[in-house]
Amino acid sequence: MDDLIRAVRTTPIIDNHAHPLLIPSQHGKYDLLAITTEAGGEALKHTPSSLAHLRAVRQLAEILHCPATWEDVLQAIDVEKAKPGDVWAKRCLEGIETILVDDGLDGRDEVFDYVWHDRLTRSPCKRIVRIEKVAQEILDEDLSESDISEVVAAFPRRFGEALDKAIRDQEVVGFKSVICYRSGLDIPPKPSLKEFSKELQGTLQELKATGVSGFKRLDYRPLNAWVVHTAAERISDAAVKKPLQFHTGLGDNDISLNTSSPSHLQEFIRAHPTLPIVLLHSSYPWTQEAGYLASVYENVYADIGEVFPMISKDGQERIVREILEFCPSEKILWSTDGHWFPETYILAVIQIREALEAVLSSYVAENALTVPQAIRIVEDILFNTSNKIYDLKLPLQPMQSTSVTASSTEGTDLAVVKSFLKAHPAVKFLRLQYLDYTATLRLRLIPVKKVLSQLEEGPVFVGITKACLGLLQHDHIVPGITATGEYKLRADFSSLRAGPSLEYACVQGDFHDADGSAVDLCPRSVLKRTLVKAKQHQLEFLVGFEIEIVFMSPDPDADLRYSLLPNSAGHAWSSSNSLKDKRVLQILSEILSTLQIAGIDLEQFHPEGAIGQYEFVLPPLPALDAVDQLLHAREIIVSIAAEHGLRATMVPKPFPECPGTACHAHMSIIGGESKEVYEPFYAGVLKHLEAISAFTYSNMTSYERVLDGCWAGGRWITWGTNNRETPLRQAKGSHWEIRCLDGLANMYLALSAIIAAGLLGVMNQEQMSWKDCQADPARLSQKDKQELGITTAFPESLMKALSALKREDAAFKELIGADVVARYCLVKDTENALLEAMTRTERMRWVIDRY
């Protein structure tokens, strides 16, 4: 979950609707109680008993390091405001990239100009022009200089000119209507100019008769309708269509609540289909209506602002859930509706981040979202949607994470685990797992009661000797490594899944040092770091694995102590004969059911070529999640087979006469479908494939499978479109299959090596010197190979592959981690010496027992 938490806490915020702060001389004019309520006047005195106010007091007290009482908070704020400069205001706006300022409130002489707020944000602030204010000021100005008839005659032209000027003004990025406050959102069709002029004439004459000087408020239904429709038409006709915001939903007691639902805007939306429309303030309490409108109309967007900090924590989380029920994230944006007081900004920012963290982490825990999908939602709501529709052209650069912008990761983990246990009440133990350098999956078992109690205090971790990343399969420590020192293996609950059996759940762990920093040698952390580096070059991936696995029967009289699966004489690739044995069908049925309980829905499965061999095709996921899923799925398969007295093994070539066993990976570059992106990437992979093979063919027995002419990817380094005799097979566009990979690899390290090589290819704009091979490379003449750029064969043994890795260029090793490569080579050299001392039969027994 760490990546999601980091995104929630550091994604910059484009505040798409707020108001200016008060100048110092006006601070005492308004009551700070108003920061959590729309109440005013006498009603304001009841605010301190609201959940929103009580929560705000606690949060402000934590920030200000004062007792959690309103009086203490007020005193502490006064102390902060007394400091020189704008220190407190800047702190309150931490994490905000820019503000789009609606400066159309009354009392402009009481607040700072919108440009002043630039000093508080990372990027310059922009204006939102309130159209009713424009109309009001024109009428007010003209009435003081002209008679009513002249004012009426000139108004359509004057209003149009003012709008056109604002549309051309680069400081203006949008417009706003408060017709909700005036005559409601049930906007009638636009009256004719004649009807409008007659109505305006009568209105101004009535004002004059009452003795009112000037024009103070546009508050007449036909006039409001004409103004809003006219503004919509002028904006729609412009080359750059700036959004028109509408106040919807909650407001002070000046509003007509029954006509503030955005559903009343449906006819208006249809009348102006090219006008970008933003429904402000979560449309509370009609958030679902706003989400619906934004989902079905191309030009409508839903803002989920103002309710932070106006309503309770539960209410805010419900609003996030309700907007996501209907609405695509790219149609959702957010605002503080901050006004007068900087405290309105800091509370809004804290609370939206807390709500996103709570809701999205629970969706991830329930497998409703992957972590990258949840991160995309965060980035859309807080930044991308506003950046796009207001045409701001701002780069998405993470902010510094602060202690006041979100609740703790541990609190989120606790919510995730509680939600998981509610869905899986039979789970009693948590398997906290890690994959070592020999690809041995090791674990600690923790009762769930202990997990919950640990989460109440902080993260879940266990101490593990530092020798754990220098062990062989039989627990011998490799030379130069000692059993001194300790790592903290910390649970990453983004990987939490049920299984492999009813009372267990699994979670992958990352190694941390005592100071909390990630351990460089941790294989899972290596992949995380590699993916971050790739993302810096706009490279993100979907990966799907094919699990090939052989079911074998224990047989003490056989050389390997295992023999071919009984009743399998008719077994063949994709043959229905391979699915007729009742025992096999029962095992497969249990595997599929358990995978589904774990949230793993297979793409397909089928019999493979070796006797007793089956292939399970996993769904594509982001790279780290894909490896986590692979390990979990394999544990389920192996465990269920063992319950039925069978051994399920991933050994590459258990029987010389049978086809081998691989673990192919399908990789796609997200958004990288052009040749300019994927060709340099895969050219980089091919260039470094000799060294990469030390990770992908990671065991001495792996090289028994590296053969020509048996769909194993062959011995020659090249690629081909839908050619299964090449180590890299292009399926379509950036979707390529990595075929030079088996189940004995540490997939975190193998995938890191592949991505690091591809990243170097992109960084160096590597040319694809290999041509599309459409034949079995082993059957080509030397001349044909040279014409296709096929010049290099795979290493013939793990020792030669390790030699290639050791002499590989520094840039490649540095991307993975020079220390990681050195430790890996040390472990594998030692393991290789151990296996070389055995006969083939002894070696196969050893490997089958462990993989």
**Where a domain ends, among 353, 387, 407?**
407
| Residues 650 and 634 sit within 8 Å (Cβ to Cβ) | yes
| Residues 3 and 364 sit within 8 Å (Cβ to Cβ) | no
The pairing of beta strand 126-130 with beta strand 96-102: parallel
pLDDT, one tens digit per residue, over 680-710 is 999 999 999 999 999 999 999 999 999 887 7
What average pLDDT does range 374-388 have in this prediction? 96
Nearest one of 568, 628, 649 to 848, comparing CA atoms: 649
What average pLDDT does range 369-382 have in this prediction? 94
**Phi, psi angle pair for 613, to nearest 5°:** -100, 135
Residue type, 173: V
User: In residues, how long is the chain?
Assistant: 851
3-state SS, 602-625, equals: CCEEEECCCCCEEEEECCCEEHHH
Average pLDDT, the chain: 91
Answer yes or no: do 414 and 555 share one domain. no
| Residues 444 and 455 sit within 8 Å (Cβ to Cβ) | no
pLDDT, one tens digit per residue, over 264-282 is 999 999 999 999 999 999 9
Q: Tell me the pLDDT band of 400, cut-offs 50, 70 and 90.
A: low
Apex 209 CA angle, 204 and 213, nearest 5? 65
Answer yes or no: do 353 and 474 share one domain. no
Residue 402 has pLDDT above 60, yes or no: no
Answer yes or no: do 554 and 472 share one domain. no
80-84, 343-347, 371-375, 735-739: which range is least confident on average?
A: 80-84
Residue 206 has pLDDT above 50, yes or no: yes
Answer yes or no: do 486 and 395 share one domain. no
Q: Is residue 527 assigned to a domain?
A: no
Q: Is residue 428 assigned to a domain?
A: yes
pLDDT, one tens digit per residue, over 600-614 is 999 999 999 889 999
Apex 352 CA angle, 351 and 358, nearest 5? 90
Side-chain half-sphere CA neighbours of 37 within 13 A: 23
What average pLDDT does range 391-400 have in this prediction? 86
Answer yes or no: do 401 and 416 share one domain. no
Q: Is residue 163 assigned to a domain?
A: yes
Residue 406 has pLDDT above 50, yes or no: no
d(CA 510, CA 468): 13
Element (H, E) at 757: helix 747-763
pLDDT given for residue 570 in this prediction: 85
77-86, 280-289, 574-583, 795-804: which range is least confident on average?
A: 77-86
Burial of 50 (C-beta count, 10 Å sphere; 0-12/13-18/19+):
middle
Q: Is residue 330 assigned to a domain?
A: yes
Q: Is residue 269 assigned to a domain?
A: yes
d(CA 307, CA 557): 73
Q: Tell me the pLDDT band of 347, cut-offs 50, 70 and 90.
A: very high
**101-114 burial: b if 16+ Cβ within 10 Å, else e:** bbbbeeeeebbbeb
Answer yes or no: do 636 and 720 share one domain. yes
Residue 657 has pLDDT above 90, yes or no: no
d(CA 711, CA 727): 10
What average pLDDT does range 796-802 have in this prediction? 96
State both tokens at 630.
């692979």
Alpha helices in 117-220 (DSSP H): 131-143, 148-168, 179-182, 193-209
Answer yes or no: do 720 and 587 share one domain. yes
pLDDT given for residue 411 in this prediction: 55
Q: Is residue 524 assigned to a domain?
A: no
d(CA 439, CA 473): 9
Cβ within 8 Å of residue 819, ≥6 positions away: 520, 521
Radius of gyration of the chain (CA): 33
The pairing of beta strand 562-564 with beta strand 486-498: unpaired
Nearest one of 792, 777, 686 to 738, comparing CA atoms: 686
Element (H, E) at 828: helix 818-836
Residue 145 has pLDDT above 90, yes or no: no
Q: Tell me the pLDDT band of 516, cut-offs 50, 70 and 90.
A: confident
The pairing of beta strand 96-102 with beta strand 300-303: unpaired
pLDDT given for residue 29 in this prediction: 83
What domain range is 507 assigned to? Answer: 410-519
Residue type, 178: V
22-31, 310-319, 693-702: which range is least confident on average?
A: 22-31
654-658, 775-779, 836-840: which range is least confident on average?
A: 654-658
**Where a domain ends, among 407, 427, 442?**
407
pLDDT given for residue 273 in this prediction: 96
Residue type, 155: F
| Residues 425 and 443 sit within 8 Å (Cβ to Cβ) | no
CB atoms < 10 A from the CB of 466, how many?
A: 17
Q: Tell me the pLDDT band of 673, cut-offs 50, 70 and 90.
A: confident
Whether a cis peptide bond, with omega within 30° of 0, leads into 285 is yes
Q: Tell me the pLDDT band of 413, cut-offs 50, 70 and 90.
A: confident
Cβ within 8 Å of residue 231, ≥6 positions away: 131, 163, 175, 177, 244
pLDDT given for residue 404 in this prediction: 40
Nearest one of 353, 334, 345 to 409, comparing CA atoms: 353
CATH number at residue 564: 3.30.590.10
CATH number at residue 333: 3.20.20.140
**Phi, psi angle pair for 554, to nearest 5°:** -60, 135
Residue 387 has pLDDT above 50, yes or no: yes
Answer yes or no: do 426 and 356 share one domain. no
d(CA 763, CA 82): 51
Q: Is residue 633 assigned to a domain?
A: yes
What average pLDDT does range 752-768 have in this prediction? 96
Assessment of whether the complete model's pTM goes beyond 0.75? no
Residue 654 has pLDDT above 80, yes or no: yes
Answer yes or no: do 45 and 186 share one domain. yes
d(CA 7, CA 225): 42
pLDDT given for residue 645 in this prediction: 94
Residue 793 has pLDDT above 90, yes or no: yes
Answer yes or no: do 676 and 541 share one domain. yes
Residue 147 has pLDDT above 90, yes or no: no
pLDDT given for residue 503 in this prediction: 95
Answer yes or no: do 624 and 732 share one domain. yes
The pairing of beta strand 244-246 with beta strand 277-279: parallel
pLDDT given for residue 517 in this prediction: 80
DSSP characters over 780-816: S-HHHHHHTT---BPPSSHHHHHHHHHTS-HHHHHHH
pLDDT, one tens digit per residue, over 74-118 is 998 988 888 777 888 988 999 999 999 998 887 778 888 989 999
CATH number at residue 511: 3.10.20.70
Residue 529 has pLDDT above 60, yes or no: yes
Answer yes or no: do 430 and 401 share one domain. no
Side-chain half-sphere CA neighbours of 306 within 13 A: 22
Q: Tell me the pLDDT band of 44, cut-offs 50, 70 and 90.
A: confident
Burial of 71 (C-beta count, 10 Å sphere; 0-12/13-18/19+):
exposed
DSSP characters over 58-120: HHHHHHHTS-SSHHHHHHHHHHHHTSSTTHHHHHHTTTEEEEEEE--SS-GGGB--GGGGGGG
d(CA 729, CA 546): 14
Q: What percent of the chain has pLDDT over 70?
A: 98
d(CA 715, CA 690): 11
The pairing of beta strand 647-649 with beta strand 541-554: antiparallel
**Where a domain ends, among 383, 407, 431?**
407
Cβ within 8 Å of residue 842, ≥6 positions away: none
What average pLDDT does range 23-29 have in this prediction? 82
Q: How many separate domains does the chain show?
A: 3
Residue 592 has pLDDT above 90, yes or no: yes
d(CA 37, CA 42): 13
pLDDT given for residue 401 in this prediction: 52
| Residues 753 and 693 sit within 8 Å (Cβ to Cβ) | no
Q: Is residue 162 assigned to a domain?
A: yes
Alpha helices in 238-342 (DSSP H): 266-271, 287-296, 307-310, 313-326
| Residues 554 and 603 sit within 8 Å (Cβ to Cβ) | no
CB atoms < 10 A from the CB of 344, how many?
A: 26
Cβ within 8 Å of residue 117, ≥6 positions away: 20, 21, 99, 101, 125
d(CA 440, CA 203): 83
State both tokens at 672.
């990288």
